[in-house]
Structure 1
Amino acid sequence: MSEHIQSHNADGVLTLTLARADKKNAITAAMYGALADALSAAERDSTVRVVLLRAEGDMFSAGNDIGEFASIAMAGGKGNGERNVIRFLHALARATRPLVAAVQGRAVGIGTTMLLHCDLVYASDTAKLSMPFAQLG
C-alpha cells in the first residue's frame, strides 16, 4: 500500500482514503498501484460488501501528479506509471462490490473520472467537479 493511500476494513466497508492533502491529493503512480491492488483484493475478500472512496483535506483530488507523470514521460515512459493507471481504471470498471465516494472540494480530471465509475457519489456543498482535458477538443 502506498503511504498516500490509507485502507481500513470494518463492518463490511473497505474505506480507501487519498491521504496526500499537502499536494491536494494529486495521484501518483504508486497511489494508482495501491488503489488497483486494494480494489482487486476487495474482489477476493468476502468480508468486503462495499468500497468507500474518500480523501483527506479540503480537496478530493487535483487529478494526476503532473510533475511525476512529466518525469516519467521524460524518462521514456519507463516504470509502472502508465500500467498502474490502466490497472486502476480496469479495477474500477470491473468492480462487483458497490463503489461509493464521499467528495468534498474539487475533483479534477481523474478525480472526476473515478467518480463516474461509482454506484453512488455523495457530494458535499463544497464539491466542484471538472474535466479540464475536455476543453482540449
Structure 2
Amino acid sequence: MPDPRLTLSRQGQVAIVTIDRPDKLNALDLAMLEALDGAIAGIERDRTVLAAVLVGTGKAFSAGGDIAAWAAMPPAGFGFDWVRFGHRVFSRIAELRVPVIAALNGHALGGGLELAACADIRIAETQARLGLPETGLGMVPGWSGTQRLVHRFGAQIVRRMALGGEIFSAAEALPLGLVDQVVDTGAAPDAALAYAQRVAARGPAAVQVAKLMLASATGESGGTAVETLASMLVAKTGDLGEGVAAFGEKRAPAFKGEW
C-alpha cells in the first residue's frame, strides 16, 4: 500500500525516493519498509530510469529503525518480520539495476547508515553525523551493518562504530570512505541529483554492467552478478533462439555456437 511518508518522483531519467517523516527523524517502520520495497521494485522495472537518488526531509537522512516499531516484538517476529525483511529491502536497493546516490541531508545513524551504505555514492552535508549506536541500546546492527558495511568500508571502521559507539562527522567520514563528498548544509539533494544526472548521461548498458562487475569483485553479490552477466551474454547468442524454437516445435535443437 502507498505510504505518504515515502514518495517516489522523477526528474528526467533519475528516480528520487524521499523519506518524509521529519518529526521522527525519518525513522523507518514496517509500513515504510514495505513502501520502500515497492518503490525500488518500480524503479527496477522501469527501463527509462538510469539512476536513483535517496534523500530524507528535515534534519536527518534517517535515524534508522523506529524503536516503537520493533521494541515489543517477540524474538521470532523481531528476527523474521523486522530484521530479515529489512535485509531483503536493503539488498534490493544495493542490487538495484541502476546506480543509487544517497543525499545525506542530516544524520545517518543505525539503520539510517545501513540504508545509506546500500547506495553506490554518498554525498553528505557538513552537519551530518554517521554511526552505529545499536550496542548502546543492548542491540546489534541488524540491517547488514556488520556485513555490507564491512565489505564496503572495512572491518576496523565498523568495529569503531559498532563496538566503541563512535559517531563520525561528515568531515571525519570522508577520508574513511563512509561518504564520497561533503557539501554545505542544504546542498546534498541538489548535489546528489547532479551526480545522478551525470551517471544517467553515460552509456546505460556499460554503467549497469560495470555495477554488476563491481558487485562480483567485492563479493557482495553471492553469485547473482555472475549469473546475471552470463545470462545476458547467452541471451545474445543464436543458440538461445534456436533452443527456444526447438522446444516449442518439439524437435532436437540445431545449435551453431553463434555469439
TM-score tier by shorter-chain length is 0.7 to 0.9
Which has the larger displacement, 88-97 or 22-31? 88-97
Q: Conserved in 1, the CA contact under 8 Å of 2:94 and 2:119?
A: no
CA distance in 1, matches of 2:110, 2:75: 23
Residue 93 of structure 1, CA deviation = 2.6
Q: What's the C-alpha RMSD, in Å, of the aligned pairs?
A: 2.1
* Secondary structure class of the residue paired with 2:36: helix
The answer to whether the 8 A contact 1:36-1:84 is kept is no
Gaps of 5+ in 1: none
Answer yes or no: is the 8 Å Cα contact 1:29–1:81 preserved in 2: yes
Q: Which protein has the larger Cα radius of gyration, Structure 1 or Structure 2?
A: 2
Identity of aligned residues (%): 32
Q: Is the partner of 2:40 in helix, strand or coil?
A: helix
For 1:102-117, what aligned pairs fall within 5 Å after superposition?
102-117=103-118
Structure 2 alignment gaps of length 5 or more: 135-161, 166-259
CA contact (8 A) 2:91 2:118 kept: no
Counterparts of 2:29 and 2:67, CA distance in 1: 9
1:38 and 2:66 correspond: no
Residue of structure 1 in register with 2:190 after alignment = none
3-state SS of paired residue (1:126): coil
Q: Report the counterpart of residue 239 of structure 2 in structure 1.
A: none
Cα pair 1:24 1:62 within 8 Å, conserved? yes
Q: Tell me the equivalent position of 1:129.
A: 130
The alpha carbon displacement at 1:86 in A equals 2.8
Q: In structure 1, how many angstroms separate the alpha carbons of the residues matched to 2:132 and 2:42?
A: 29
Q: Does structure 1 conserve the Cα–Cα contact (< 8 Å) formed by 2:19 and 2:57?
A: yes
TM-score (norm. length: structure 2): 0.48
- Bigger strand share: 1
Q: Which structure has more helix as a fraction of its residues? A: 2
- Pairs aligned (count): 136
Query: 113-122 vs 81-90, which deviates more?
Result: 81-90
| Equivalent pair of 1:60/1:107 in contact (CA under 8 Å) | yes
Higher relative contact order (CA 8 A, sep 6+): 1
For residues 83 and 34 of structure 1, do their structure 2 counterparts lie closer, same or farther at Cα, with a shift above 3 Å needed? farther
